[in-house]
Amino acid sequence: EALQQIIQAAEELTIKQKILVKIIESDDQIYEGQFGGFHLNELSSIVELVRQTDHVTIEGVTSFPCFLFDGESKLLPTNNVKTIQQAKKFFEELGIVIKEVNIPSATCHETIPFIKKIGGTQGEPGHALTGTTPLHSKMMLPEHPAMVYVSEISHNLDNHAYFYGGGYYRRGHLDSALIVSSESVKKDRVRPFSNENIDYYLSTESTHPVGATVIAAFRTQIFVTRSDVAVVSGIQSGSPKVEGIYDSLGNIVRR
């Protein structure tokens, strides 16, 4: 249905629209909330539809996720990669040249050689830009971590400190934090937090001075948090400057 709409729009605008086809099979790895695409046995109907017009061309194939972290030291290809390769072969046997093979998920220095080896032309920018793929928590890689979560201690209760939430991400593996006050810098463990709860506050194992700064590093997805984002330049030169503060969708809050 969406392809038919694209064809109609392209014909009305008299343009030639390139499309990327998402492929999915029952034994592929797909996250909840991301289901969609075409099965291999449906591709012939796509080709038939595209060949009825001069305004749409099939240029590429994709799936997600194409790599997953093994929890220790490797990013391994998923079955999705085989599905993509089968789709590419199918299209090319029908004379359709596939120029773009999009193989996303955890793209970084470690996976780019794999992407090339299996015939990929693209990854995704994602967490490589901030050095926060799951692999970065286990290894020193060329991409340096460049994002931290900053909060402050709100209060203490029953031998635990509580700091303001709003930035928790349930798949981020938040484990510990630095608590910085005028008196000391201490590392403390962040207590487990249920995925069902709203992160009004997160807590640490020990108590800390109210108002102390909390610095944590974990893999996040900003757009699902209530965090603001402060973009800071000049850190490496020792002259930090806040270039702007944005909301979780990238809209400017304050320069």
Which residue carries 């990238």 as its tokens?
250
Read off the tokens for 21.
């086809």
Write down the pLDDT at residue 212: 98
**pLDDT of residue 73 exceeding 80:** no
Mean pLDDT calculated for residue range 223-233: 94
pLDDT band with cut points at 50, 70 and 90 for residue 127: confident
pLDDT higher than 90, residue 62:
yes
**Which pLDDT tens digit goes with each residue over 182-212?**
989 999 999 999 888 899 999 999 999 999 9
Q: DSSP string of 141-187?
A: -SSPP---EEEEEEEEETTEEEEE-S---TTS---EEEEE-SS-EEE
- pLDDT at residue 151 tops 90: yes
- SS3 call for 135: helix
pLDDT-derived band at 176 (thresholds 50, 70, 90) equals very high
Instruction: Please tell me the pTM assigned to this model.
Output: 0.81
Question: Amino acid identity, residue 250?
Answer: G
4: helix, strand or coil = helix
What is the mean predicted confidence (pLDDT) over 162-167? 94
Q: Can you point out the beta strands (E) in the chain? A: 17-22, 56-62, 67-69, 75-77, 100-102, 149-157, 160-164, 176-180, 185-189, 201-204, 213-216, 229-233, 241-246, 252-254
Helix (H/G/I), strand (E/B), else coil: 93: helix
Q: Which of the four pLDDT bands, split at 50, 70 and 90, describes residue 216?
A: very high
Q: What is the pLDDT of residue 133?
A: 86
Task: Tell me the domain boundaries of the chain.
Answer: 2-137, 148-217, 221-255
pLDDT of the residue at 125 = 82
CATH of domain 2-137: 3.20.20.10
Task: Report pLDDT for 26.
Answer: 92
Looking at the predicted structure, is the pLDDT value of residue 90 above 80?
Answer: yes
CA angle 237, 218, 120 (to 5 degrees): 90
* Helix, strand and coil percent figures for the chain, each rounded to 5: 20, 30, 50
Q: What is the overall mean pLDDT for the chain?
A: 92
Q: Give the model's confidence band at 163: pLDDT under 50 very low, under 70 low, under 90 confident, else very high.
A: very high
Q: Retrieve residue 147's tokens.
A: 């994002």
Decide if pLDDT at 232 tops 90.
yes
State the pLDDT confidence band at 102, using cuts at 50, 70 and 90: very high
pLDDT band at 171 (very low <50, low <70, confident <90, very high): confident
Token duo for residue 55? 């305004």
Select the CATH number that applies to the domain covering 148-217 from these four: 1.20.1070, 2.40.128, 3.40.1350, 2.40.10: 2.40.10
pLDDT confidence of residue 129: 87
Residues 6+ apart with CB under 8 A from 2: none
How far is it, in rounded angstroms, from Cα 174 to Cα 167?
A: 11
Q: Which of these, 39, 104, 100, lies nearest to 66 by C-alpha position? A: 104
- Extract the tokens encoding 202: 């997160």
pLDDT digits (tens, 9 = 90+) for 26-51: 999 998 889 999 999 999 999 999 99
For a pLDDT cut of 90, what percent of the chain falls above it? 72
How many CB atoms are closer than 10 A to CB 220?
21
Question: Is 144:190 a contact under the CB 8 Å cutoff?
Answer: no
